């Protein structure tokens, strides 16, 4: 299975700044085998970066998309419009869930629309600090996972990537703290168990599961050695060229 390093740039960089960053990053990293590097810039930069990117070295991901392919939906961009521009799309990120109010039904529709348009969904799941404190972690993970995948058939599951990103461990949150290896391993095992119960063990084993939550060059190697972790979803450190390049190099060493 590949190792995935996904940089989520969120609401950062102008189109020009994104282009300069990509140019420098392409010069800095080689073509890695069995290591998929993905960057997810803001929507406005995707078209121009798709013409600039070397797809042998890395791929593009959208940060969002609308579940209808066309229609009277002012301001939205559909997955059919993103097709051919991006290979991946981040869906169900905690900021989409908790700031923009996206529920499991909406996220399920987006996952289905991405797959319909040959775009690999990176389905994000994870509990808040209060949900964890009240012992609701397993229920939240189960609900978000099953809810997001409810329209995914057995033979399509291996085309999906899951990203476990506990909200309490994201660096942009006020109460952020680092997740321990044991906490991550427990969540990974639970996710794999739920997938196995729903789709069967053989199919579940083929699904990449990423971890995200205050990932940086100093902890990336440790996270990648946690049982069940197949890659990383990175926020703040993906905005700093040297740090993102270091994480990619760490991932290559761990993979080797």
Catalytic sites, residue numbers: 93, 165
CA 209, CA 206: separation in Å to the nearest integer? 9
CA 250, CA 39: separation in Å to the nearest integer? 17
Burial class, 185, CB count within 10 angstroms (exposed 0-12 / middle 13-18 / buried 19+): middle
Distance of CA 74 to the CA centre of its chain: 26
Extract the tokens encoding 70: 């066309």
For 244, other C-beta atoms within 10 Å of its C-beta total 25
Strand 59-62 relative to strand 35-40, pairing: parallel
Q: Which long-range contacts (CB under 8 A, 24 or more apart) does 47-54 make?
A: 47/85, 48/15, 48/18, 48/19, 49/18, 49/19, 49/22, 50/85, 50/86, 52/19, 52/22, 52/23, 53/22, 53/26, 54/26
Are 107 and 89 within 8 A, CB to CB? no
Extract the tokens encoding 82: 């993103």
Q: Which of 158, 173, 175, 179 is nearest to 232 (CA)?
A: 179
């Amino acid at each position: 299975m590949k190792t995935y390093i996904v940089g989520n740039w969120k609401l950062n960089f102008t189109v020009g700044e994104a282009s300069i960053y990509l140019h420098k990053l392409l010069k800095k990293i080689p073509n890695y085998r069995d290591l998929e590097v993905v960057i997810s810039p803001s929507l406005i930069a995707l078209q121009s970066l798709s013409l600039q990117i070397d797809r042998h070295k890395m791929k593009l991901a959208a940060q969002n998309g609308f579940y209808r392919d066309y229609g009277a939906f002012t301001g939205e961009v559909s997955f059919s419009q993103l097709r051919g521009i991006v290979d991946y799309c981040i869906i169900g990120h905690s900021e989409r869930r908790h700031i923009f109010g996206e529920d499991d039904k909406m996220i399920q529709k987006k996952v289905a629309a991405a797959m319909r348009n040959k775009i690999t969904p990176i389905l994000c799941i994870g509990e808040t600090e209060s949900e964890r404190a009240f012992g609701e972690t397993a229920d939240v993970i189960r609900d978000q996972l099953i809810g997001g995948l409810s329209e995914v058939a057995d033979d399509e599951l291996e085309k999906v990537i899951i990203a476990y990103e506990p909200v309490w461990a994201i660096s942009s949150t006020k109460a952020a703290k680092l997740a321990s290896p044991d906490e991550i391993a427990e969540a990974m095992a639970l996710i794999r168990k739920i997938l196995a119960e729903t789709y069967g063990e053989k199919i579940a084993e083929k699904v990449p599961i990423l971890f995200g939550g205050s990932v940086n060059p100093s902890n990336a190697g440790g996270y990648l050695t946690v049982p069940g972790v197949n890659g990383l979803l990175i926020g703040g450190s993906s905005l700093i060229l040297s740090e993102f390049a270091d994480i990619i190099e760490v991932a290559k060493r761990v993979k080797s």
